[in-house]
Structure 1
Amino acid sequence: MNKITFLKKHFWNGLFLAVVLVLLFVPSAKAYLMQGLMQVGLFKPHTETAAQGKATDLRGIKFKDAEGNSIDLGDLKGKVIFLNFWATWCPPCQAEMPSVNRLYEQFKNNKDIVFFFVDADGDFAKAKKFMDRKKYSLPVYSMGSSVPEEIFKGSLPTTVVLDKEGRISYKGEGAANYADQKFLDFMEKLTRM
């Protein structure tokens, strides 16, 4: 078998292997693929299965901003709280960030909603660099206390929406398209309750 025949025969196998290796070892490539899948309708948040159980005691659950200011979730009763736990190195987090940023831009001036984008690493310098590079305007926080497992078990990304009474109205682990119209309507509905 000559060299050209060998190359023709194994070209597609080599190309497939190269794509798999890129997706495995290049986080931004994996994030880009996931963003494309979000655009075609996959990774929609399922708000119709939202839990409306008893109110969670939010007192003592604290987050810190880059200036060191601490905010206790217990002080935010009467507000809808959007919590997103993420990290700069996490491909699913990177994939959902454009949609999270669009959600934030739509509701950032709504006085009934408070947003927390919690960098699981707590590295404000790295998170700010990431936000600046991507041109996101999301307010970054770090954990200022322990967070109950019913809110965050450690899986990234995790998104939790608490209603005005402190009940978990939405919880999603893994990437999702938070700019989806159904989710925007869900957030709007929570502000009117």
Structure 2
Amino acid sequence: MKTIGGLMLILTAVSAIAAPAMPPHLGVSGQDEYREFLEAPDHRAFAIAPGGAWAWVSGEPSAREAEEKALAICQGQTAQRCVSYAIDDRTVFDAAQWPTLWRPYSSAAQARQAPVGRERGQRMHDLAFIDEQGKRRHLSSLRGKVVVLHFWGAWCPPCRREMPDLQKVQQAMAQRPGIAFVILQAREKFDVSRQWADKQGIVLPLSDSGSAGEDDATFRLAGGGRIKDREIANRFPTTYVLDRNGVVVFAHIGPIHDWSQYEAFLRDITDRKGR
């Protein structure tokens, strides 16, 4: 029994080594790269950013130079702020700081001066839609609330796979009055999206983008015009988070890996009072 118990302890230890804690927000490829990083030569560093951007280097003249280089490469890939996760064998990740990296959030005056667009720091196009209660709305009518703006379609396999995970985070945030989820379908009629969601037991507050069907590659604007959907979403799904003044603080093209890891970010931005 002792031998078996000892063997079990050895196997447990080996299992723990084989399954290191993963940096947050990384997809499958990023996790594979982190495992490779752990086996790389010293003077190595791994950097990450909200949304899943990452970079790592090894074999640099010093650990400090490795950190600086990894951060620079990571920052070249994203508008989000990159931070160090690991240097050589040390995990240097600051878990308390992590959910604050969408800051600083805009003031009303800054938002008025921000250019209109879809990039971080820009004011999102004022889209028109019909909310889940059948009311005509536009994004600017939600000023004072944080907005999770999500584009999807029932025709889109990655969109369908993501919906249950998105639903969990929406339900986790549902009791916070300072946040709104605007979930808009692309290139299909709302009835098609709603029917699919109902069959799957999805109870998200879906809004109607006004799409006339698969040949309609536009979204409606509050002023009565239209904008090509690719000017907002290069592919689907696409997600934006807007601060209380309608300014983009986070943008993500494609499905989000593990929505639950974004709850702390959403709590941080909703807890910050608008200016």
For Structure 1 versus Structure 2, the TM-score category normalised by the shorter chain is 0.5 to 0.7
- Unpaired stretches in structure 1, ≥5 consecutive residues: 1-40
The answer to whether residue 265 in structure 2 is matched with residue 186 in structure 1 is: yes
Change (3 A) 1:112 1:119: same
Paired position in structure 2 for 1:23 = none
In the TM superposition, residue 150 of structure 1 has moved relative to its aligned partner by 9.9
The answer to whether residue 51 in structure 2 is matched with residue 45 in structure 1 is: yes
**Would you tell me which structure has more helix in proportion to its own residues?**
1
The residue type paired with residue 45 of structure 1 is G
Higher relative contact order, chain-length normalized (CA < 8 Å, sep 6+): 1
The residue type paired with residue 170 of structure 1 is F
Q: Deviations over 1:155-193 (max 9, x none)?
A: 211000001122211100001135333x11000000011
The answer to whether residue 95 in structure 2 is matched with residue 110 in structure 1 is: no
Query: Out of 116, 119, 142, which is 2:208 matched to?
Result: 142
Paired position in structure 1 for 2:232 = 152
Paired position in structure 1 for 2:138 = 72
CA RMSD across the alignment: 3.1
2-side partners of 1:180 and 1:151: how far apart? 28
In the TM superposition, residue 122 of structure 1 has moved relative to its aligned partner by 4.5
Contact 1:85 1:117 in 2 (8 A): yes
- Unpaired stretches in structure 2, ≥5 consecutive residues: 1-25, 29-49, 54-79, 82-101, 112-121, 210-219
1-side partners of 2:175 and 2:163: how far apart? 19
Paired position in structure 1 for 2:248 = 168
2-side partners of 1:138 and 1:97: how far apart? 8
Paired position in structure 2 for 1:13 = none
The residue type paired with residue 260 of structure 2 is D
Contact 1:122 1:142 in 2 (8 A): no
The structure having more radius of gyration, on CA atoms, is: 2
Change (3 A) 1:88 1:128: same
The answer to whether residue 191 in structure 2 is matched with residue 125 in structure 1 is: yes
Percent of aligned positions with the same letter in both sequences? 25
The residue type paired with residue 186 of structure 1 is F
1-side partners of 2:233 and 2:125: how far apart? 18
Query: Out of 127, 148, 152, which is 1:61 matched to?
Result: 127
Query: Out of 257, 264, 267, which is 1:177 matched to?
Result: 257
Change (3 A) 1:64 1:147: farther
Change (3 A) 1:45 1:60: closer
- Match of 1:109, SS state, is coil
The answer to whether residue 170 in structure 2 is matched with residue 87 in structure 1 is: no
In the TM superposition, residue 65 of structure 1 has moved relative to its aligned partner by 3.3
- Match of 1:180, SS state, is helix
Aligned length: 153
Contact 2:234 2:253 in 1 (8 A): no
